[in-house]
Amino acid sequence: MAVEGGAKCIKYLLFFFNFIFWICGLALIVVGVMAKVSINTTAFLKGYSGSPLVIIIVGVIIFFIAFFGCCGAWKENQCMVTMFAVILSLIVIVEIGAAIAGYVLRGNLTDLLNKGFDSMIAGYNETENREAMDGIQRDLKCCGRNSSSDWMNSKFLPANSVPDSCCKNITKDCGKGALQQTTKINTDGCQPILDKVLKQNILWIAVAALVIAFVQISGIVLACILMRAIRSGYEVM
């Protein structure tokens, strides 16, 4: 029995939704990778890389589930549509958990950065700390936690010196004795710059999550309506 208007429209809407859903999955993968790269910029944030990893995994799952949802809608298979709605609901719950974790991280970010920079400067002789600190100073064109003067009392550098990564034009030993040479080195601290960058990234992740969640909830609603139509004995053409 052919469906009159409504249920038939829902079928095609759900099919179109799954195309949008596929794009959302791809977007989650991209956003998750960007977040993970930002968090892995420095060693002391690596313990907080769980949320981006969850986002990436969810994105991959969504990417493939979209095809499953398309098949269920097109073939009018109640079981497939039901499973699609259930799995999509679980994904929304996981995303909410990741969003909460990201919000908690954003609230603690400043203190975490301060402690991390102090630890890296104090342990600059260790390879991991040195590589992480040099990478941040080189990429963000900054020096020290709050300013280049943070290196003044370092036990691992010559007097009045900064790491070569603080130099505007990085060459071997360019930071030796250059602490007061403001035209030669970057003087801005890394903590405020990195704090701003990471918080902006977290904000974009939150905005993306809200948009994707809205699309997902719309898909759940459409799937439920289509399930009801199929269960009622309609034949969706």
DSSP string, 79-115: HHHHHHHHHHHHHHHHHHHHHHHHHHHHHHHHHHHHH
Distances (CA, A) of 15 to 9, 67, 75: 10, 9, 11
- Per-residue pLDDT averaged across 83-97, rounded? 81
Q: Is residue 118 part of a domain?
A: yes
> Is the pLDDT confidence value at 43 over 70?
no
The Cα–Cα gap between 179 and 105 comes to 34
Structure tokens at 189: 């601290």
Number of domains in the chain: 1
Query: Do 16 and 54 touch, CB atoms closer than 8 A?
Result: no
pLDDT of residue 45: 56
**Residue 24 maps to a domain:** yes
At 5 the pLDDT is 55
**Mean pLDDT value of segment 62-83:** 77
pLDDT digits (tens, 9 = 90+) for 98-142: 777 767 777 777 888 888 899 899 999 998 889 889 999 998 999
The pLDDT value given to residue 40:
58
* Dihedral sign, Cα of residue 35, residue 57, residue 93, residue 86: positive
Is residue 177 domain-resident? no
Kindly tell me if the per-residue pLDDT of 218 is higher than 50. yes
Strand partners, 188: 147
Choose the most confident range, by mean pLDDT, from 2-16, 34-48, 77-91, 108-122: 108-122
In a domain, 150, yes or no: no
Q: Is residue 206 part of a domain?
A: yes
Domain hosting 211: range is 6-125+201-231
Q: Is residue 148 part of a domain?
A: no
pLDDT in tens, 166-205: 999 999 999 999 998 989 999 999 999 988 888 887 777 7
Please determine, for residue 74, whether its predicted confidence score (pLDDT) is greater than 80.
no
Q: Is residue 59 part of a domain?
A: yes
Distance of CA 15 to the CA centre of its chain: 28
Q: What is the pLDDT of residue 2?
A: 41
How is residue 169 annotated by DSSP? S
pLDDT of residue 167: 95
Please report whether residue 223 resides in a domain.
yes
pLDDT above 90 for 165: yes
Question: Which pLDDT does position 237 carry in this prediction?
Answer: 46
One-letter amino acid at 112 equals L
Highest mean pLDDT among 5-19, 30-44, 129-143: 129-143
Read off the pLDDT band of 7 (50, 70, 90).
low
pTM: 0.63
